[in-house]
Structure 1
Amino acid sequence: MTTDGFTTCLWFDGQAEEAAQHYVSVFENSRIGRVVRWGESGPGPAGSVLTVEFTANGQKFVALNGGPEFRFNEAISFQILCADQDEIDHYWTKLTENGGEGGPCGWLKDKYGVSWQVVYAPLLDMIGDPDPEKAARATKAMMGMGKLDAAALEQAYAGEQG
């Protein structure tokens, strides 16, 4: 095995190139790499995309046009740890646009059905706080949200009325 880490393969039904271009536009430190197209011997139409290698936020991916047999579900998701509300808003907006949908507790599905968790990074320490009251307040606030509200989470954690 090489020492380059892992590459995540995402299975699409004809949207591999479009999806790769979308993810590269959403995240910094991203680029499209090698695009492999079917040749004359198929089985896909000659010239159509089989795979697209891309990097999104430094993470390696390959988008595969595998067909309609498999769909994404919430059993696999990608976490985006955000430093502030601006980052939360950016990723939430970009990943839910054009057919994506928000879910509970910072989760969403993008227009391709890929699940993402747009997380306020300090929340992880809040809900893991050794003070059970602080942790419970932060957890309760998070459970009532779709897109996370950093200020409301901070207020709940601190015991302030919002």
Structure 2
Amino acid sequence: MSKISPCLWFNGEAEEAANFYVSLLPGSKIETVQKNVIDGPSGKAGTVLLVEFTFAGQRFMALNGGDTRFEYTHAISFKIDCADQAEVDRLWDGLLAGGGQAVRCGWLKDRYGVSWQIVPTALPKYLGGPDRAGAQRAMQAMLGMVKLDIEGVRRAYEGS
């Protein structure tokens, strides 16, 4: 288990967000829910302070940090490697559910504003393949996509 885990700041939605994330991928679960023991900036006594959860094997902490709303940016994002287009499609749709926003090149923001990259594991094969002209075509194709399309990138790489 890693000694490092991301902490995501929420304003009252920590438990809701953690439950949302763990519903998306196997190997995910809520580990602990800690309640506030006193009234404070993060809420009244008895409300959720933090949720520790495992998302596809990676530990996270969701913290109800208080009244101040901090916005997430694309400077930090979470990349999910997807085995095939069906997994890309499922996770893309799942993370956009409830008010997420598609960005481009496989990036999106979920309904909490957290940035994600939904990336097929085949992508490096085309972007870094031995056919440099094919790799350039694949890159151009990818740059024109919102949700990544493995078949579209493959066709561009092969020039078909």
Please state which band the TM-score falls in when normalised by the shorter chain: over 0.9
Q: Equivalent residue of 2:92, what SS?
A: helix
Unaligned 5+ segments in structure 1 are: none
Q: Equivalent residue of 1:104, what SS?
A: coil
- CA shift, 1:27, in A, is 1.2
- CA shift, 1:123, in A, is 0.9
Distance 1:41 1:148 in 2: 45
TM-score, normalised to structure 2, is 0.93
1:115 corresponds in structure 2 to 115
- Aligned CA-pair RMSD: 1.3
Q: Would you identify which runs of 4 or more consecutive aligned residues in structure 1 move more than 6 Å? A: none
1:21 corresponds in structure 2 to 19
- CA shift, 1:126, in A, is 1.4
User: Share of identical aligned residues, percent?
Assistant: 51
Q: Is 1:32 aligned to residue 6 of structure 2? A: no
1:76 corresponds in structure 2 to 76
Distance 1:46 1:123 in 2: 48
Distance 1:13 1:136 in 2: 43
Distance 2:39 2:113 in 1: 31
For this pair of structures, how many residues does the alignment match? 158
- State the Cα deviation string for residues 23-58 of structure 1 (Å, max 9, x = none): 010111011011111113534201111100000100
Unaligned 5+ segments in structure 2 are: none
TM-score, normalised to structure 1, is 0.92
1:104 corresponds in structure 2 to 104
1:49 corresponds in structure 2 to 48
